[in-house]
Homo-oligomer: A and B are copies of this chain.
Amino acid sequence: MFSKFLNLDKEKQDRIINAAIKEFTQKGYDRGSTNEIVKEAGISKGLLFHYFQNKKQLFLFIFDYCYEIVIDEFYKKIDFQETDFFMRMRQAIGIKVEMLATYPDIFKFIQEVFLEESAEIKVEFDKKKTEITHINIEKAYEGIDYTKFRDDVDLTKILKIINWTFEKMSDEALAQAKLSPTHEIDYLTIQREAEEYFQILTRVFYK
Contact A26:B200 (CB < 8 A) given known A168-B167, A168-B168: no
Q: Which residues of A approach B to under 8 Å, CB–CB?
A: 26-28, 30-31, 115-120, 126-127, 129-130, 150, 152-154, 157-158, 160-161, 164-165, 167-169, 175, 178-179, 196-197, 199-201, 203-205
* Copy count, this protein chain: 4
* Chain B residues whose CB sits within 8 angstroms of the CB of A150 once the complex forms: 204
- Not counting A154-B200, A157-B197, A157-B200, a sample of 16 additional A-B residue pairs whose C-beta atoms are within 8 angstroms of each other reads A26-B119, A27-B118, A27-B119, A115-B115, A115-B116, A116-B118, A126-B178, A127-B179, A150-B204, A157-B196, A158-B200, A160-B168, A160-B169, A161-B197, A161-B201, A164-B168
Closest 7 CB pairs of A and B: A164-B168, A204-B204, A30-B30, A153-B200, A27-B119, A28-B119, A161-B165
* Chain B residues whose CB sits within 8 angstroms of the CB of A120 once the complex forms: 31
A112 to chain B, nearest CB (A): 9
List 21 A-B residue pairs with CB atoms under 8 Å apart, sorted by A's residue number: A26-B119, A27-B119, A31-B118, A115-B115, A115-B117, A116-B116, A126-B178, A127-B179, A130-B175, A150-B204, A152-B203, A153-B199, A154-B200, A160-B168, A161-B161, A161-B165, A161-B200, A164-B164, A167-B168, A204-B204, A204-B205
